[in-house]
Amino acid sequence: MKKRRFFKPRQKKLNRSVAGNGLLFFIMAICGFFMALPLVMIINNCLKPLDEIYQFPPRILVRNPTLENFTDLFTIMNDSWVPFSRYILNTIIITGFGTVGHVVLASLAAYPLAKHDFPGKKLLFNMVVLSMMFSWTVTQIPNYMIISWLGINNNYLALILPACSYGMGLYLMKQFMEQLPTSLMESARLDGASEYQIFWKIVMPNVKPAWLTLAIFQFQQMWGNTGSMFLRDEQLKPLQFALQQIAAGGTARAGAAAAVTFIVAAVPIIFFLACQSNVLETMTTSGMKD
Amino acid sequence: MASKEALVKAKKQHSLGYQIKRNKACYVMLAPYFILFFLFTVLPVLTSIALSFTYFNMLEWPTFNGWNNYIKLFLEDDIFLVSLKNTLIFAVVTGPVSYLLCLIFAWIINEFSSKVRTLLTLIFYAPSICGNAYMVWSLILSSDRYGYLNGILIKLGIINEQKLWMQDAKYILPCLIVVQLWLSLGTGFLSFIAGLQTVDKSLYEAAALDGVKNRWQELWYVTLPAMKPQLMFGAVMQITQSFAVADISIQLAGNPSVNYAGATVVTHLLDYGSTRFDMGYASAIATVLFLLMVGTNKLVQKLLGRVGE
């Protein structure tokens, strides 16, 4: 018979005491309450009728839940002169290519940095790490000039290409790949595998938690981008821009704005759950590392 | 003769050209990322550093003015010094504490079974995923007696009248620190969670045989050393976050905040960069902040080298 427990069965985890488990559970319950506040607030807000949104003093929990806010939002969406499906398509293109592109390019570059020795390796890696420490505000203008010079202004590429070259992804992937035992790659090399095959067939499957986590970060980043700096044509703008535009509509649209806030948060959360449950799944299967 | 040939061959292998040729596959793999990286990161950063030696108002062509921006920054700009002091306090408090929180919570969550874990991860990561989630705090810290904190404290009889949390210079910085700590389970946290998954399970069994008695010893002697690369990564992310704090200060305390009590280096930078359009000066601020972070990073990496010893 299988017993269901919060904690893993005894034979899997060594060195665990019941008192310790109880203490940890208690800590998590208290802290979890505070951490969950924004989620609770966003969900409650989007269900509030207008009079409750403007209630003073404000309450976090909803009294008379309604879906009015969403029907309002959809009515406004139907009125927009660029069809909403177009905004959604734009977002899929920008977020999709931005996320996949970054994960693939950064991993591809991280592999030689982690597992090979070649001239210039240290310099390149240090540049990436240091680049994360420079304030993004002041590089915006040079960045804009470069994008204009490349002629990709008012183009999806203006958002996708810079996103592919963020520093964080490369650093994250490199750190995880460094942990892989070199013997793993050596044996594949002896079997005649090329570097690319080693990368796809051996390195990437073994650092699955890393690239799933990176995908979460990057998706969040791309999803939150309104693109208003580079995209001028209304037909090219992402969903985020259109939604923010609706949310900024003033008092009468406070309900729709609450619905917008919910949708804006819900999409990355769904993505997060899909990736995160896989991150945690890998644990059970990847015990065969050298 | 043979030895001479071997020598020539050895020399050839050491030459740069040969090394590059031998590692051709590496460079091909690096190329796509680094071409974009040079274009969209290195070039803009270098341009900004160059601009920090100019006067640049974004309308006229920048004019060179030497070290003037830096001289003004340190000798004439009192507000910069206040913001620098605030940032340092902020970084010294939130940096290490956030980092430990990320680590501790990631580790605790890892103790639960996998379904509970996903849910707990979501709850603890929620402040980072819900956009401007810290606006919850504007309710809690609201300055009237309906603000949650004021309400609770008055009910408990700890204070008699409401405190102006975000308008009183005395309270602004401590309040912002609390909010920042609450927000701290972000990038580092998730990378630790992922890092914990990659720790080889057989290490734990071996450690138990070697006399590791409880989970705390296991953490220090097995888990932490095994996830050193993630610890390094987390530290860098923590530095970039705790030195670059600005959003929460601007949203909760305003920019400028009362008596500049909530001013940080980045709010000061934003003030010059996006309000006063003095990009040369803003670039100088960014360069100083950059050097500050690089120095801190060196120090922290050294400290982390000692984990598990």
With a cut of 70, say whether residue B264 has pLDDT above it: yes
**In a 3-state reduction of DSSP, which class is residue B47?**
helix
CB-nearest to B123 from A36, A179, A195 is A36
- Given this model, what pLDDT does residue A8 score? 44
Q: Is B100 on the interface with A (CB under 8 A)?
A: no
Give the sign of the dihedral formed by CA A62, CA A65, CA A68, CA A69: positive
Residues B79 and B146 in one domain: yes
B121 and B244 belong to one structural domain: yes
Reported confidence tier of residue B277, pLDDT bands at 50, 70, 90: confident
Same domain, B83 and B204: yes
Closest residue on chain A to B37 (Cα)? A165
A61 within 8 A of A44, measured Cβ to Cβ:
yes
Most confident of A243-247, B102-106, B126-130: B102-106
Task: Test B40 with A165 for CB contact under 8 angstroms.
Answer: yes
Query: What is the torsion angle, in degrees rounded to the nearest 10, for the CA atoms of residue A211, residue A215, residue A221 and residue A224?
Result: -170
Q: Are residues B22 and B145 in the same domain?
A: no
Mean pLDDT along residues B35-61: 91
B149 and B233 in a single domain? The answer is yes
Q: How far apart are CA B249 and CA B94, in angstroms?
A: 14
Mean pLDDT confidence for A68-80: 87
Q: What is the C-alpha separation between B264 and B267, in angstroms, rounded? A: 5
Q: Which residue has the higher pLDDT, A46 or B14?
A: A46
Cis status of the peptide bond prior to A57, with omega within 30 of 0: yes
Q: CA-to-CA distance for B286 and B284, rounded, in angstroms?
A: 5
CA distance linking residue A262 with residue A281, whole number of Å: 28
B56 assigned to some structural domain: no
- Asked if residue B62 is part of any domain, the answer here is no
Would you tell me which residues 122-151 of chain B have a C-beta closer than 8 angstroms to some C-beta of chain A? 122-127, 129-131, 133-134, 136, 139, 144, 146
In this prediction, residue A3 has a pLDDT band, given cuts at 50, 70 and 90, of very low
Do residue B191 and residue B272 come from a single domain?
Answer: yes
What are the CA-CA distances from residue A81 to residues A238, A246, A262 (Å)?
14, 13, 23
Cis peptide before A142 (omega within 30 of 0): no
Q: Are residues B130 and B245 in the same domain?
A: yes
pLDDT value for B94 = 92
B88 and B157, same domain (yes or no): yes
Give Cα separations from B24 to A216, B16, B19 (angstroms): 32, 12, 9
Task: State the pTM of this model.
Answer: 0.88
Residue A247 has pLDDT above 80, yes or no: yes
In this structure, the answer to whether residues B76 and B46 fall within a common structural domain is: no
A51 confidence band (pLDDT: 50, 70, 90):
confident
Mean pLDDT of B153-175: 82
- Say what the pLDDT of residue B2 is: 58
* CATH number of the CATH domain containing B257: 1.10.3720.10
Name the domain count of chain B: 2
CB atoms within 10 A of CB A26: 10
Do B278 and B57 meet the contact criterion of CB atoms below 8 Å apart?
yes
In a domain, B272, yes or no: yes
The predicted model gives B31-44 an average pLDDT of 94
For A83-231, CATH gives: 1.10.3720.10
Domain limits for position B11: 1-51
Largest CA distance in chain A: 72
Residue B42 has pLDDT above 70, yes or no: yes
Count how many pairs of residues, chain A against chain B, have C-beta atoms within 8 Å.
Answer: 276
Contacting A residues, span 6-45, partner chain B, CB-CB under 8 Å: 6-8, 13-17, 20-21, 24, 27-28, 31-32, 34-39, 41-42
Look up residue B75 and give its DSSP letter. Answer: I
Residues B37 and B155 in one domain: no
Q: What is the mean pLDDT of chain B?
A: 86
Is residue B200 less than 8 Å (CB to CB) from chain A?
Answer: yes
Ranges of each domain in chain A: 34-80+237-285, 83-231
In a domain, B107, yes or no: yes
Contact B105 A31 (CB under 8 A): yes
